[in-house]
Amino acid sequence: MRLRRWRKATWALVIWSLGILVWLLVGLSSRGCAEESGDIKQTWCEVGTGVGIAVIVVIGFMGFVLLSLVWLMSRPRVRICPTCGNDVKKGVTVCEACGHDFASADGIPHPRSERR
């Protein structure tokens, strides 16, 4: 049996999402301005942290949308034959290698086998 593997675009989506999540967590945890004195400095420091987090979220979302489009457009145009494991183009109803009939396997009678 042939193992299914993730496509490169799937890996890119997963790595991107994990990278943005780590970047977001590091940005939230590195609040070095909590020790500063003065209300104005503290307020501006918190505003800067908020703006930085917002920028990370926007960059992450835009990258996720772009990579999702790439993932969607790079779908494979073949399916795997359950009998022999060879790749068969979508739309072809019979595997050329082993003769497996995809139409009858789905419960749909093959047009040539119908009686008139």
Q: What is the per-residue pLDDT for 101?
A: 86
The answer to whether 112 and 93 are in contact (CB under 8 A) is no
pTM equals 0.64
Q: Rounded to whole angstroms, what are the CA distances from 51 to 19, 25, 48, 94, 116?
A: 19, 14, 5, 57, 71
Instruction: Give the structural domain span for 22.
Output: 8-73
Q: What is the per-residue pLDDT for 1?
A: 46
61 with 13, same domain?
yes
pLDDT < 70 positions in the chain = 1-4, 31-38, 105-116
61 with 84, same domain?
no
Q: What is the per-residue pLDDT for 42?
A: 75
Q: How many domains does the chain have?
A: 2
23 with 60, same domain?
yes
Whether residue 1 lies inside any domain: the answer is: no
Cβ-Cβ contacts under 8 Å for 46 (sequence gap 6 or more):
33
Whether residue 3 lies inside any domain: the answer is: no
